[in-house]
Amino acid sequence: MPPSRPLSLVTGASAGIGAAFARELAAQGHDLVLTARRVERLEALAQELRDQHQTTVTVLPADLAGPAAVPRLCEALDARGLRVDWLINNAGYGVPGTFDAAPWPVHEAFFRVLMIAPAELAWRLLPGMRERGYGRIVNVASLAGHAPGSAGHTLYAASKAYLIKFSQSLALENRQHGIHVCALCPGFTWSEFHDVTGTRQLMNKLPTFMWQSAEAVVREGYEATERGDVVHVTGRVNRFIKAMMKLLPDKFTLWLSAKESKRYRDLGALD
């Protein structure tokens, strides 16, 4: 049985899907721990949720690119006696341009935030979930994890495919312990993501029917996780795209990816 007021840890909670998850979980009666780098935004969101939902919100700023960030975050949870029931591994970003255009430390930081931190947080928090017989882990992946890799944002699709496979294995290992694990796979989502990567002008060329709001993505993700869905692609358009990708030959989908990448990716040295 779930606790009367589950405690949810949301990474990357200062904006976009992370902030939308915080709002949804607070509305569902959860207490929250919010983490991200931007302290002022976290504090503003925390106060909003306290005022609207009378929920307890703890702000623990962290930069997950640092190798000691996750251990320190978990130590801070332990010091406050906070036991996490829902883990939302949402923190992420993109590195635009070709693979060789960025220095290695940039890629290393990307790996830590999008791949190492989600796995380490799950590893550190799973024992408590198992002991209590209840837990939920949402790994925010992407439709990109189901599609062929594209030129530009070289590591992004690869990291999301990793989260999908990781979620599947983790779900199989922990289902009998009352723990649901879901890889949430949105497509194009209205958020700051493309502003941060400098690709907003390119992304605005895409038709509006391909976009979802962060709130719509989170509502689907919450319901899918509670149902026990292991992988959930949000939106009918995105589910259609995923189905077509599975049916079409790899050679054709790679050609299509190469063609479309020129429209909405910063290809840097390839231009």
DSSP string of 111-141? HIIIIIHHHHHHHHHHHHHHHHT-EEEEEE-
The C-alpha angle with vertex 88 and arms to 224 and 92, in degrees rounded to 5, equals: 110
Query: Residue 203 and residue 153: Cα distance in Å, rounded?
Result: 13
Q: Express each pLDDT in 202-225 by its tens digit.
A: 555 555 756 699 999 999 999 999
pLDDT tens for 115-137 read 999 999 999 999 999 999 999 99
pLDDT tens digits for range 37-81: 999 999 999 999 999 999 999 999 999 999 999 999 999 999 999
Query: What is the mean predicted confidence (pLDDT) over 149-174?
Result: 94
Catalytically active residues, by annotation: 156
Q: What is the pLDDT of residue 128?
A: 97
What is the helix (H) or strand (E) element at residue 109, kind and residue range? helix 104-111
Domain 7-270 has CATH 3.40.50.300: no
Q: What is the reported pLDDT for 218?
A: 97
pTM of the model: 0.88
Alpha helices for 175-203 (secondary structure H): 193-196, 200-203
How far apart CA 49 and CA 23 sit, in angstroms, is 7
> Is residue 16 within 8 Å of 193, Cβ to Cβ?
yes
